[in-house]
Amino acid sequence: MPAKKSTKPRRKIASASKVKTTGNMAKAEIVTATRGATQDGDRFQSASRTVLSGVRELMTFTNPTYTDAELGYFQDAWANSVAGAVIDKKMEFVMGRGVKPTFELREEKGLDDEQKKSALKKHDDILNELIQLDQKLGFNQKLFDAAVMAKVFGRCVMTWEQAGTGISRPGAIKLIHPRDTGRVFLDQKDWSLEKVVTFNPSAEITPPEMVYLVHKPDSPIRKTLLFGVSDLQRVVGAARAWRRIVEFDMPEITTSMWAGYGMFLVKKMGRNTADTDADLSALLDSLKPGAFNAVAVDALDDIDYKTLDLDSKTK
């Protein structure tokens, strides 16, 4: 017996490669595919074979990489450890003598080197004016500082104030501290930067109004797109520990190694508690570790000193 054909209609799937031809112009028709539908007798569930229509977009969101307290740790590590000096020297090497404006010809086909130089020389007055404007605004120093902050905190906003209305030249360049920089908004069409919210000053700044420096914008840290990663993250724990060792532990260790620890035993000899405490305070205040000390006592005072053995007993 011949096999019975299924009467169940097969679901068809459209492909983005389906093209309608009209004259010498081709018009593509993009249709959304249904997951689980059949295509040439096969069933598939892979998202990679799903065709997106023009109205559908992959949506995402992003969160700050660090809390303000963590940014404070980075700030402290930069200011008080050798890691900060390393970042400064690294950026000095990267920036070199800075940057300056240059002009290029839009169309240079068929021109030799001398002709290119001659064409560019006509615009030297404008070029020199732009160079002087950069020097006046301190552009290279501002750019260097912004790059350092992007390395320390992961990102930095550099914006400017216009000198006049309409199309005009910048009158001032301003850096907004990363700890005063807030949420990042994404353009969901391509996940590019839409705007940045700042706290001090309170503003919403768009890409045409700023230069947004980000260290590792697509970092491996999940859900932190365009928030960046600090170069100090991997060393901040060691930097904080080293600072505590240098500022607190080392002086204490040095003092104990030179002077050791001891205890004075003073008998009251009939005096009241207030007088005894005053004498003890005067005695302790007069002593200096690792130095000779002289203390005036009454004939009836009975003072005994005991050395405290705090040496390790382990081998």
pLDDT value of residue 302 = 66
pLDDT value of residue 3 = 53
Q: How do residues 43-67 score in pLDDT, each as one tens digit?
A: 545 554 445 445 567 899 899 999 9
Q: Does residue 57 sit within a domain?
A: no
Q: Does residue 1 sit within a domain?
A: no
Q: Does residue 63 sit within a domain?
A: no
Question: Are 38 and 84 within one domain?
Answer: no
Q: Does residue 246 sit within a domain?
A: no
Give the separation between CA 74 and CA 230, rounded to whole angstroms. 8
pLDDT value of residue 24 = 45
Query: What is the token pair recorded at 230?
Result: 């600090």
Say yes or no to pLDDT of 32 above 60: no
Question: Are 315 and 275 within one domain?
Answer: yes
Q: Does residue 253 sit within a domain?
A: no
Question: Are 281 and 200 within one domain?
Answer: no
Q: Which of 221, 236, 251 is the last residue of a domain?
A: 236
In DSSP notation, 249-304 reads: IHHHHHHHHHH-EEEEEE--TT--HHHHHHHHHHHHHH--TTS-------TT--EE
Give the separation between CA 294 and CA 296, rounded to whole angstroms. 7
Q: Does residue 94 sit within a domain?
A: yes
Answer with the residue of higher pLDDT: 164 or 224.
224
Question: Are 230 and 133 within one domain?
Answer: yes
pLDDT value of residue 203 = 94
Question: Are 43 and 155 within one domain?
Answer: no
Question: Are 217 and 111 within one domain?
Answer: yes
Q: Does residue 200 sit within a domain?
A: yes
pLDDT value of residue 272 = 77
Q: Does residue 37 sit within a domain?
A: yes
Q: Which letter does DSSP use for residue 235 in this model?
A: T
Question: Are 208 and 84 within one domain?
Answer: yes
Say yes or no to pLDDT of 26 above 70: no
Give the separation between CA 221 and CA 218, rounded to whole angstroms. 8
pLDDT value of residue 280 = 79
Could you give the number of structural domains in the chain? 3
32: nearest Cα among 57, 7, 1, 66: 57
Question: Are 115 and 227 within one domain?
Answer: yes
pLDDT cut 70: percent of the chain above it: 69
State the chain's mean pLDDT as an integer: 79
Question: Are 30 and 88 within one domain?
Answer: no
pLDDT value of residue 242 = 87
Give the three-state DSSP class for 155: strand
Question: Are 37 and 126 within one domain?
Answer: no
Question: Are 231 and 269 within one domain?
Answer: no
Question: Are 176 and 145 within one domain?
Answer: yes
- Residue numbers of the domain that contains 78: 68-236
The answer to pTM > 0.85 is no
